[in-house]
Amino acid sequence: MKALAIHGKEDIRWEDREVPTPGDGEVRLRVNYVGICGSDLHYYFHGANGEYTIREPLTPGHELSGVVDLDPSGRLAPGTPVTVHPARYGPEVPGLEDRPHLRPGGDYFGSAAANPHRQGGASELLIVEDHMVRVLPASLPLERAALAEPLAVAIHAVNLAGDITGKRVLVIGAGPIGLLVVAAAVKAGASVVGASDVREEPLDRAKALGATEVSLVGRDTIENESYDAVFECSGVGVALTQAVRAGRRAGTIVQVGMLPNADIGVNLAPMLAKELTIRGAFRFSTEIDDAVTLLAESDALDSVISHVLPASDAVQAFELARDSSASAKVLLSL
């Protein structure tokens, strides 16, 4: 079988691997699609994602769909369409019973946080623990199902803002996660969803998903105190400053984009007089089940997938995925 492996900065290879054999409590999947995420881009272009540096060949990918290849327990028949919850949680911690994704000591597909690394899903055959498997409804195509993980991230972020029914919402950064946050906010009943970005093409995609107010950075002005909830999805410090300015008094800011692991310039002074709440959003817990349900309901989110390339063309796919003018979500087909 074949699998992708990142060996270091701008060094990714389509390699031969031995066919893995599932053990007790495990299932072997035949992977069809893997989405390229921001963390995958960092691993490929920089050899590291924040403080996590590649120390051995790393197979990327935590957004995936495929079919069951072999379930030794016999519970899942070969060919059953599935996606995967890519997290394993750490030991239980008092106070985090409802948020197991925050417990330390867990891991995630396609991550160099641990050593040895937790290998990801960009592999023709993949072994997963059976509790990670989510069987897909018959109405959900495998290509669209590859959005389940990033959509779960978006739904989790929107949930953290509380009830946004009838409220004005702003999404800063209309990349793939930002687009899915736009869709999740519309689904959650926001009366107005705005989007801002440094490029026009992502804003056009946001409008197609329900954003009715768009702002091009450097051209348009976002009025101070104009939104009840703001989702910062770009991971840029200056954007968090903009979020604090745009938030209304007693409003909520949800930081979704991964900020750099460094001291950065952010002006938080307005948050005091406004009594703003700023919340971090980290992955998700059970929201992948909500994401699967939402994806099965309609094809509205198909437009988030802009390109599908063979995994053997990974270099081209990664170059395309980092160009937000040319692409939204790029999938690898295996």
**136/154 Cα distance (integer angstroms):** 19
pLDDT tens-digit map of 175-191? 999 999 999 999 999 99
The whole-number average pLDDT for the span 133-146 is: 98
Tell me the C-alpha distance between 145 and 7, whole Å: 28
Instruction: Give pLDDT tens digits for 290-321.
Output: 999 999 999 999 999 999 999 999 999 999 99
Backbone angles phi, psi at 303, to 5 degrees: -70, -15
What percent of the chain stands above pLDDT 70?
100
Collect all residues with Cβ–Cβ distance below 8 Å to 269 and sequence separation of at least 6.
none
User: What is the arithmetic mean of pLDDT over 232-253?
Assistant: 96
157: its two tokens: 């972020």
Which of 312, 307, 310 has the alpha carbon at shortest distance from 323?
Answer: 307
Are residues 106 and 57 in contact, defined by beta-carbon separation less than 8 angstroms? no
Q: What is the mean pLDDT of the chain?
A: 97
Q: What pLDDT sits at residue 258? A: 87
pLDDT(8) > 90: yes
Asked if 66 contacts 333 with a C-beta cutoff of 8 angstroms, the reply is no
Sign of CA dihedral 29, 33, 35, 41: positive
At 46, is the pLDDT very low, low, confident or very high (cuts 50, 70, 90)? very high
Two tokens, residue 81: 């369409």
Lowest mean per-residue pLDDT among 38-42, 50-54, 75-79: 50-54
- Residue 213 belongs to what H/E stretch? strand 213-216
Q: Output the CA torsion 280→285→288→289 (10° steps).
A: -140
- The confidence score (pLDDT) of residue 259 equals 86
For residue 21, give the amino acid letter.
T
Q: Who contacts 167 (Cβ-Cβ below 8 Å, separation ≥6)?
A: 190, 191, 228, 229
Q: Is pLDDT above 90 for 262?
A: no
Would you place residue 260 in the very low, low, confident or very high pLDDT band (cuts 50, 70, 90)?
Answer: confident
- Bridge-partner residues for 34, per DSSP? 64, 332
Task: Find out whether the peptide bond into 116 is cis, omega within 30 degrees of 0.
Answer: yes
Distance CA 131, CA 24 (A): 12
Q: Which amino acid is at 104?
A: P
* Band of residue 261 on the pLDDT scale cut at 50, 70, 90: confident
Nearest alpha carbon to residue 310 among 320, 302, 300, 301: 320
Supply the pLDDT for residue 121. 98
Closest CA to 205 of 182, 186, 221, 188: 182
Q: What is the pLDDT of residue 272?
A: 96
pLDDT of residue 102: 94
Q: Closest Cα partner for 196 from 152, 160, 232, 250? A: 232
Q: What is the pLDDT of residue 295?
A: 98
Q: Is the pTM of this model over 0.85?
A: yes
238 band by pLDDT with thresholds 50, 70 and 90: very high
Contacts of 14 (CB under 8 A, 6+ apart): 2, 3, 4, 311, 312, 314
From the number of C-beta atoms within 10 Å of its C-beta (0-12, 13-18, 19+), residue 115 rates as: exposed
d(CA 222, CA 61) in angstroms, rounded, equals 35
For the stretch 28-63, what's the b/e string if a residue is b when 16 or more beta carbons lie within 10 angstroms of its beta carbon?
bbbbbbbbbbbbbbbbbeebbbeebebeebbbbbbb
